[in-house]
Structure formats: C-alpha cells, structure tokens
Chain A
Amino acid sequence: MTDKFISIESVSKRFPAAGGGSTTVFEDLWLSMARGEFVCIIGHSGCGKTTVLNILAGLEAPSDGAVIVDNQAIEGPSLDRAVIFQSHALLPWLTVMGNVAYAVASKWRFMNRGDLNRQAQKFIDLVGLTGAEHKRPAELSGGMKQRVGIARTLSIEPKIMLMDEPFSALDALTRGTLQDEVRRICLETGQTAFMITHDVDEAIYLADRVVLMTNGPNAVLAEIVENPLPKERQRNDVHRHPLYYGVRNHIIDFLVSRSKNFADEMAGTNYDRRHVPVVRPGTPQVSATRPASLDSTDGGQARSPMQVVADFPTSSRPSLAQHRA
C-alpha cells in the first residue's frame, strides 16, 4: 500500500476547557488509508473517534496538522466524502423519500425529478424501507432512522464513506443485512471506508485494518490490527477462520485493560506516533516500528491453526458465545 489515498498527518484537536485552558482530545495523530481500504476504529466512549471522523469529513478543522486526500489537503466538507452521522441527522420536516432525494439532488443538481426519485427509491429499497417512503422521521424507529441515514449516504455514491456507529441502533438481523450491503457496495464501487464501531465482531467482519484508540483525553492510536481474514469472507463462517478468535481476543484485551494504561505500557519502548505499531494477533508481532502504510497482502492465512489454539486457550471462548447470543 504505497498509495496513501487518505493521510492524517500530525493532527491535533483541542477544545477550550471551562477554566480558560484547553483540553487536548488528541495530539500529533498519524494515520493513512489506501484506496479501497476499509478501516474500523475502536475505542472507549469519549476518546475522540467522532472528532477524528469530523476532521476527516472536513466538518471540523484540526487545531494542528492536516488531512490529505488524494494528494490534496482538505479544506472543508465534500460530496466525495459522505458521512453517516451518529445521531442520524435526518431533516424532520422531510419524508424518508424527501431526505434521500435531497441528497441526490445536491449531488446531481440538474437531474430531472423522475431520475431523482428513481435513484432515491433504489437506495430506500436497498435498506429495506420500501413502503415507508412517505413517513416522516418522527414516525420511524431508531433503527429505521439510521437506515434512512445509510440510504442517504449511499445514494450519492461517494468515493469515501465516513460512518459513525452506523449500525449501533439496529437489531441483529437488520444489522447483519446492512453490514452485508455496505460491504458489498464498498467492494463493488471501490469505496474507501472509515467506520467507528463499538462492536468487535462487526469490525472484524468488515475491516481490513482495525485501529485501536486509547482512552482520552490525550488519546493516541495504540495499535493497528491487521485483519488476517481474506477479503472474500462470508458472514456465516468468518468465526471459523483459525485466526478469528486471536484477533477478537486481542481487541477485547485492549479495550478491557490496555486502553487505560497504554501510556505506562509504552513508556520506555520505541513507540512512535507517526508509525503506529501494526500487529497480527495469533502470530508473532510483525514489527513494532513498521510504517502503518506498508502493505500486508496475505493476512497470515498460511499460519497453522494449531498456533492460534495454543496462543488462545479454548477457555476464553465462552465469552464469545455469550456475546454473539
């Protein structure tokens, strides 16, 4: 991945604090993404994930540093970078159709009404809201609202999708369907996707790389977990992959314990914010100082499952079963 399609370079964000000073959400943050890549970011609530996403979207300016997209520093929001908002952000005075068509009309300003409605309808159908076109957001459930948000974002066929917990309000079944759809669309259209999630399984199913963020304030990107799953994966048997539990447990370990004391963990090591350590759980550390932008084509499929079983005893699995139930 020599191609750095998106590159966050030394970005900081500070908010004025109550007492006149300022709180630093994060500082000197570096991350790059390749074209067509799907990156998930995981971290505890309030660590600054939405802030990173807003900066990528161009909705917020970083206090320092820059975001480069396609060799150009971004200066504001763009139709190429579509956002699925954490809070749905539907326009309550418009119907479902109105909301999606508004986005379509913003992208294709001279499209005639017929084409416009067809394009909107296509994506309303896709998210399974056929029949609810003329409802107002207030008449929809939380999950339905989120699906309208997803339809609105997909309908403008962006180059980059920035998703802020897009599936968090959905029931398991709908979530599965939409994950499949979003994944399919991303693959088919060569979409580059950046997604915030709290769901480890979702991250492993969708992402090529999972970025782990420590607790704020002064959050840092602790590690980048390379997903060993092949690009061709099926929802029903991702968990049969020999390295699946390795990855999963690694991320959960991070969230449960390491995210709090990461600074102590890193003290004295050669941790470098600019080259966040890349790890492939279940296998020996790849390289702690390896640049995040380097390629990793085969995710380690060649490694034997035995090694994984040895690394992660079966006793750690019941928690998984519980989680999925």
Chain B
Amino acid sequence: MAVTWRAALVSLLLFGTFIGVWHLATRGGGPVASMDPEYAKLVGATASQGKSAMPGPADVGLKIWQHLKDPFYDRGSNDKGLGIQLAYSIARVMIGYLIAVAVAIPVGFLIGMSPLMSRALDPFIQVLKPISPLAWMPLALYTIKDSSLSSIFVIFICSLWPMLINTAFGVAAVRKEWLNVARTLEVGTFRRAFTIILPAAAPTILTGMRISIGIAWLVIVAAEMLVGGTGIGYFVWNEWNNLSITNVITAILVIGVVGMVLDQVLARATKLVTFPE
C-alpha cells in the first residue's frame, strides 16, 4: 500500500516538473526589440515578443477545456468537435476489429486443431503478416472505392494477424491431459471446443486481442491522415495544416487516453478468463 502511495507521489512530482519545464520553455521572453506596432501585429506574437511557437501548458489546458465543454459541434466538414472525430475513429476501429475477431478466432481454431490446415495456411500467414497495413490502402481504395470502408479494411487486416496467431497457438498448446480427459469422457468435437479448448486457450486468445486493439488504434490515426474526411487522424492532419499546434497536442493527448482505455478494457477481460494453475 505504502509503495502505491509513494509511486503516486513520484508520478505527480514528475508530472509537475514536466509541466513546469514546458511552461518555462514556451514562456514569452518579452518584446525582442522596439518595433512598429503595426508591423508587430502583422508578424504575430511569435516573432514580435519572442514567444515560442510551441503553445504552453496553459494554452493546451484551455483548449482541452473548450473541447470538453463542446465536444460534438459540427460546423462543416473542416470544423467538427473533437468528440465527433473521435467517435468516427472509434467506430471504424470497432467495426474493423470485430470483423477481424469473427474471422481470426474460428480460423485460429481450425489451424490450432488441424495440423493439416496449420501447414497449409502457414505460408500465406507468413507472407501476409509482415505487410504494413497501410500498404493495403491503395488497393483497398481502388477496389472498395470508399475511403471510410477502406480504413475499416485496413483496421481489419492489421488486427487479424495477432489474434489469428495467438488463437492458433493457444488452441494447439492446450495441455494434452485436458484433452485426454475429454477423450475418456467421450466428449464430442463441438463440446470439446467450447468446454475444454476455449477456456484453456482463452487467456492466449485475449492476449492476442489486446495486442490487436493496440495496433488497430495505432493504425487508424495513420489511415485517417491518408484518406482524410473525418476521424481523429484527419483532425490532427487538418490542425497541422491550420498550424494549430495547440489542437495537435490536445489530439495527441486524447489519442493516448483512448488507447489506454481500450487496452485496459481488454486487460480486464484477460484477467477474467485467466485461471490460476
């Protein structure tokens, strides 16, 4: 318990130091030289007051507060609330990810339970797995002809492999003695799959799902930067074009928080199905 509190204290201290340094580093250094006020107005505060182009923690804090107050506004295609953009991204990740779950787990079972299928599918998996998901993007855009569906496809393809490989591995690694119990009890294939193999492999499968959701969240940002339109990735890119570094930093923070939440949800689920031995 004491360690927890002390760790929290150290975390807080580190955070405070970081904010402090950030603040000092981006604080304005006063007017650089006397300047014609008209001209100063023209070049902006950055040049006229020696203020850093980097926003300080106060600017970002204010921005976050504004976004939190009104996350869902929609003023045309280039000005939507952070909440709306996030919702688009999360929805795409969820759809692509769930389709991947629906494909990866049954196919993983097949590979894990059948040495024949394992050997037969192995070369395909070995070649397809190392392909960067974004490399599929042009092909997806060309065939699907829809940017949103293409990013969903990219999410699907990137979340597929870790789940597929972990499921196959978990299923193949089920302890022989448990399978022997099922055999001596004359348990049928389906009942065996659901009552022995699934619970035995569940921790490994969920670990794969956790890796996948992490990758999917990494990839969605890049994919949306590429295809544009909506989503948190597009938001980041758009704000970069607007030179609104405050918004970019805000988005980075939000991406981190959402990624953490997704990861924690799966970590909890993994814990639920893990059995002590």
Interface residues of A (CB under 8 A from B): 57-59, 76-79, 81-83, 85, 87, 89, 91-93, 102-103, 106-107, 136-138, 156
Contacts and interface: CB of A to CB of B under 8 A. Distances in A.
Interface in B159-210: 177-178, 180-181, 183-187, 195-196, 199-200
B276 interface: yes
B180 A93 contact: no
B183 to A, nearest CB: 4
A138 B178 contact: no
Nearest to A80: B186
A81 B184 contact: yes
Contact of A79 (B186, B199, B275): B186
Interface in B52-111: none
B36 interface: no
B277 interface: yes
B181 A79 contact: no
15 contacts: A57-B184, A59-B180, A59-B184, A77-B180, A78-B184, A79-B186, A83-B180, A85-B180, A89-B178, A91-B181, A91-B196, A92-B275, A102-B185, A138-B275, A138-B276
Which secondary structure dominates where chain B touches chain A?
Answer: helix
B183 A91 contact: no
Interface residues of B, number: 17
B275 A136 contact: yes
Interface of B: 177-178, 180-181, 183-187, 195-196, 199-200, 273, 275-277
Contacts of A89: 177-178, 180-181
Given A59-B180, A89-B177, A77 B186 contact: yes
A67 B187 CA distance: 22
Contact of B200 (A81, A93, A137): A93
B186 A92 contact: no
Contacts of B186: 77-79, 106
B184 A83 contact: yes
Given A85-B180, A89-B177, A91-B181, A106 B275 contact: no
Nearest to B195: A102
B187 to A, nearest CB: 6
B185 A79 contact: yes
B32 to A, nearest CB: 69
Contact of A92 (B180, B187, B277): B277
Contacts of A93: 199-200, 273, 275
A81 B180 CA distance: 13
A103 B275 CA distance: 20
A91 B194 CA distance: 13
Nearest to B202: A93
B219 to A, nearest CB: 33
B11 to A, nearest CB: 33
